[in-house]
Structure 1
Amino acid sequence: MSILRERADEAATSFDVLFASSEALPLIKTGGLADVAGSLPVALRSLGHDARLILPAYPRALKQVRELRTACELRLPGALSPVRLLSGFMPDRDLPVYLVDAPEHFCREGNPYTDVSGRDWGDNAERFLLFSWAVATVAMGVPALNWRPQLLHCNDWQTALAPALMRDREERPATVFTIHNLAYQGLFDRATFDRLKLPPALWSVAGLEFHQRLSFIKGGIIFADRVNTVSPTYADEVRTSQHGCGLDGLLRQIGGRFQGILNGIDYHTWNPATDPALTQPYDTERLHLKAGNKLELQRLFDLPRNEHTFVLGYIGRLVEQKGVDLIVEMLPWLLEDPRVQVVMQGSGEANLELMLKRVAEAHPDRVGTYVGYDEGRAHLIEAGCDAFLMPSRFEPCGLNQMYSLRYGCVPIVRRTGGLADTVSDGDRGPATGFLFEEPSAEALCHKVREAVDLWHNNQDAWRARMRAGMEQDISWEASARQYQHYYADALEARQNLERALA
């Protein structure tokens, strides 16, 4: 019997999992991946699994990880000197963390992927190949750690080469690869492939080649034992030419190796009954207290304070994918109704930032905007708004609509991806929000007006939607149980492959 099978039999109800990500909350965040990486391993540990996180040693991460020490040094291809592997714990949780300390790759200003001006780092391929080599090395077992995972869970293109690098290694762990947004694939030219000195055999349609370009994400899709994305509906959508970003055929081809598992949210961080960012905590039994947060939100955005005004909120990137242009186009029609205010927080495309600024300047008593991201302000928006706008053109999972449900801030969303899986307009179970089909300002405005009318004319029905959303189980614990079963499938697939090669 192999070591892998022995270890799987010994831990039939629990797994040793190395969770690889390029970002994780609260260490560093650019998007929803950070929320997942900061929460799912914690939820897995609560179910009895030994989950550990590995990510690059960015300056902000180095400052926050507690009990940080040097565990060992790794000699990695492409590194001019040994790379330190640091170990410690998350600042607010007992989650073990490994940091890959390669200063020439990760000690720089800006976010993990772009410089301070927003341009991609020119050596991103080298940076995340090095990180993938580190992930694969730790996954294969490093004696100094006295720990070896049964399963490696990689996320998005920045870690997708790790399964490819381990493809021929005996006694490798089982691998799971999660696609958080298929639009980001890690595409580079052929010259980059040659420069990285990757095995020549990987330059093929059955490897990393994608229309004569190097595709990092294909490393995970082709070589992982199991592949998933972050909602069942998005899993269906990306297997179509409309949403598959050129990879729909491959995703259809891998068949049962691919599925959708819905993300969850951290109930410890997102809890209106205990949230320190709120002026007035509340729960389903004290919904009337939510109004205190609306008054504070209006004050924060310099809007007239009136709890009888219907307040709409938006938090997120100011990009067309999120349907922000639909919101901007809708606002002049919506603001004809004097009973409505809108608050928006986010940053992104310069033209959308400018449009929002102009709308806010034209309607200073109706529209409040904040360009940037502030965590406390985000919590107050969820608590203070009556409804939340999320008219995305596509949405792999979405987290803000789930935060909204948790906070009784009724979501108004487009029926796509994870939005369709988490928000109900009464077609499946109790209504928790409002959904519309067509990605247009007219369709969005029609649904918002429907929500405004219900809020003003039938508070009992409105509060029923609030309570139904707040009582819905969208916790990471529920999602972690699904991953637990998926890990078992991946381990079984790895064992079957091992038997076939024996």
Structure 2
Amino acid sequence: VYNIVFVTTEASPYSKTGGLGDVCGSLPIVLAGRGHRVMVVSPRYLNGDSSKQAYANAVEMEEQSRIYCFGGEHEIRYYHEFRAGVDWVFVDHVFYHRPGTPYRGVNGLFQDNQLRFALLCYAASEAPLVLRLGGNSNSVYGEKTIFVANDWHSGLVPVLLAAKYRPRGVYTEARCVFVIHNMAYQGMEFATAYKNLGLPNEWHLTIESMHPKWARSNHSDEPFNFLKSAIAVADRIVTVSQIYSREITTPKGGYGLHKLLKSRNGVLTGITNGIDDNEWNPSTDKFIASTYSIDNLSGKIDCKIALQKELGFPVRPDLPLIGFVGRLDYQKGIDILLSTIPDIMKEEGVQLVMMGSGDAEYEKRMQRIESSYPDKYRGRFGFEESVYHRIIAGCDILAMPSRFEPCGLVQLHAMRYGTVPVVHSTGGLRETVSTFDPESNGEGTGWVFSPLNKDTLIDALRTAVHTYETNKPSWEGLMKRGMERKSSWDEAADRYERVFELAFGNPPY
């Protein structure tokens, strides 16, 4: 049994912009259910009335922390809620009280994100030492703790343990697992700002010396890379799918850090994400028009009709309805998907809905497309959980032309709801979706295409549409095989426990 502390910028249902929020809102609950003592530390974002409601059950704690970094002293307050067997701890500071998402406002990315998340790392490092949490035993977690730091925002945690705590005899029995959800975001900071992080001066060079010679700059203007430093110092490294753990050790997938990752291959593990079977269950889903199951699929037609009405489409349950949900950015292949729409719209009776937020140029293109095809296309901007559920339940086909996808949860949600995915062959998409072969005897859960370009995407979507229209028995088999696929967190939790065991089996790095 372990004392586990997750450090994350997102944890659903309190905060979420994507898969990170889903993972850190679900996996801790599963681990707590297996007997571990689990804490999740994330910011207390106050960006409007709805955010206040999210933290309505969190109570301010007596304990506080004073953190010295970025040229001053910062007073941190903690809020706590014990829910589903987990201690949910929220770090409160004025830097988290602003309109927008956790990372950006109306004018783009917040320019002080490195400061905001450095404070999170400091506060999370202090939490097991100072917070007496009554959810389990009204005691501190203590020093023998396993930290699970997620993405660059939490990348200072393993550095703080090694540079500030262990030299003072604190956390000598602690370990840190660093989870990479997306290599493309690394948390770069100017080298001149290193002094603001509150780390010992010699540790800038120490971190550099941990990198292979090729990765050392020995220049004063070398940016401080939060992700790179965590990779160098963490006791174990996890990625969110097995294929992605291999992809990031290649020049294409490693975003400049592939050699460093390859040098640490002995502590690198791929663990495919799961999904919350209670939240994502078409037989109990409170957001959809009609519940259904693998034994009675009739409710899915009702969900499709309701979605067509909600979107203002002609109500035609016989027509294939294609969906996309995700960030509107280059990684997700939005440019390629949008370029295919005129060809897709030529198909008789195909409808398409897209929901997401991101690049304003993509939103403008979607608006123009909707004006050109008002009976066949809808673009929805932003993200709303209930609408997401209704799109997944109401669509027949899900399109995911991502350039890279560390794991991807949307395709797992889709298969759970009998919506057939068409995905690019990359990362977790390739790992979780298998291509349907009409000659095979009941195999495949969708279509996996490669290489990624307009023509291959169109061909895959046309194949899916043709199968839907002409081979109903095969289509029902596709739906049911996706719904049968095991995607719960139980298997992933087993593997995380093994990683924790390995971390404690060796001295801290």
TM-score norm. by structure 1 comes to 0.91
Aligned ranges 1:30-109 → 2 under 5 Å: 30-59=17-46, 63-65=53-55, 66-78=57-69, 80-90=73-83, 93-103=84-94, 105-109=95-99
Deviation at 1:382, TM superposition (A): 0.6
The offset of 1:347, in angstroms, is 1.5
What residue is the counterpart of 2:149 in the other structure?
Answer: 154
Please name the residue that 1:188 is paired with.
Answer: 189
Matches within 5 A, 1:80-479: 80-90=73-83, 93-103=84-94, 105-118=95-108, 120-139=109-128, 141-142=129-130, 144-145=132-133, 146-148=139-141, 150-167=145-162, 169=166, 170=169, 171-204=172-205, 205-206=208-209, 212-426=222-436, 430-479=443-492
- Is residue 239–residue 252 contact of structure 1 (8 Å, CA) maintained in 2? yes
Q: Structure 1 residues 292 and 144, CA, compared in 2 at 3 Å: closer, same or farther?
A: closer
The answer (yes or no) to whether the contact 1:77–1:130 under 8 Å persists in 2 is no
Checking the alignment, whether the CA contact within 8 Å between 1:297 and 1:381 is kept in structure 2 is yes
1:23 has 2:10 as partner = yes
Q: CA deviation at 1:96?
A: 1.4
TM-superposed deviation, 1:210: 6.9
Partners of 1:88 and 1:386 in 2: CA distance: 39
| Counterpart code for 2:176 | T
Letter in 2 for 1:248: H
Secondary structure of 1:83's aligned partner: strand
User: Is the Cα–Cα contact under 8 Å of residues 162 and 219 in structure 1 kept in the other structure?
Assistant: no
- Structure 1 unaligned blocks of 5 or more: 1-13
- Describe the shift of the 1:20–1:210 C-alpha distance in structure 2 as closer, same or farther (beyond 3 A): farther
Tell whether the 8 Å contact from 2:58 to 2:79 is kept in structure 1 after alignment. Answer: no
My pick for the range that moved more, 68-77 or 309-318, is 68-77
Could you tell me how far apart the structure 1 residues matched to 2:107 and 2:239 are?
A: 30
How much has 1:33 moved relative to structure 2? Answer: 0.7
- C-alpha contact (below 8 Å) 1:20/1:53 kept by paired residues: yes
- What amino acid is the match of 1:486? V
Q: 1:319 to 1:82 in 2, by over 3 A?
A: closer
Q: Distance in 2 between matches of 1:22 and 1:143?
A: 19
Moved more, 179-188 or 287-296: 287-296
Give 1:3's aligned residue: none
Letter in 2 for 1:83: I
* Cα-to-partner distance string for 1:342-370 (whole Å, 9 max, x where unaligned): 01111211221111111111111111121
Quote the offset at 1:441 in angstroms.
Answer: 0.9
Q: What do the CA deviations read for 1:118-148 (whole angstroms, capped 9, x no partner)?
A: 2x22222222112111112224x22645222
Instruction: Name the amino acid aligned to 1:23.
Output: E
Give the 3-state SS of the residue equivalent to 2:125 in structure 1: helix
* TM-superposed deviation, 1:85: 2.4
Aligned partner of residue 398 in structure 2, secondary structure: strand
Between the two proteins, the alignment pairs up a number of residues equal to 478
* Cα distance change, pair 284–490 in 1 and its aligned pair in 2 (3 A): same
- Paired amino acid for 2:78: L
What is the RMSD computed on CA atoms of the aligned residues? 1.9
Residues 1:22 and 1:210: Cα distance change in structure 2 (over 3 Å): farther
Contact 1:68 1:89 in 2 (8 A): no
Task: Give the Cα–Cα distance (whole angstroms) in 1 for the partners of residues 216 and 80 of structure 2.
Answer: 36
- In structure 2, C-alpha distance between the alignment counterparts of 1:468 and 1:286, rounded to whole Å: 14
Cα drift, residue 372 of structure 1: 1.4
Which has the higher mean CA deviation after the structures are superposed, 423-432 or 369-378? Answer: 423-432
Any residues of structure 2 matched to 1:479-498 within 5 Å, and which? 479-494=492-507, 497=508
Q: Which amino acid aligns with 1:128?
A: F
Give the secondary structure class of the aligned counterpart of 1:87. strand
Amino acid aligned to 2:80: S
For residue 159 of structure 1, what is the amino acid of its counterpart? S
Deviations 1:394-413 (A, max 9, x none): 00111100100100000000
Q: Which segments of 5 or more consecutive residues in structure 2 lack a partner in the other structure? A: 134-138
SS at match of 1:381: helix
User: SS state of the match for residue 439, structure 1?
Assistant: coil
Moved more, 173-182 or 481-490: 481-490
CA apart distance, 1:203: 1.9
CA contact (8 A) 2:39 2:86 kept: yes
For the 8 Å contact 1:77–1:133, the answer to whether it is kept is no
Q: Contact (CA 8 Å) 2:63, 2:131: kept in 1 or not?
A: no
Q: Deviations over 1:135-164 (max 9, x none)?
A: 12224x226452225211100111110111
Structure-2-length-normalised TM-score: 0.90
Q: C-alpha deviations, 1:73-92, integer Å up to 9, x for none?
A: 112222525322222235xx
Compared CA separation, residues 210 and 268, structure 1 to 2 (3 A)? farther
| Residue 374 of structure 1: how far off its partner (Å) | 1.5
Structure 1 residue 335, shift from structure 2 partner: 1.3
Q: Secondary structure at the match of 1:493?
A: coil
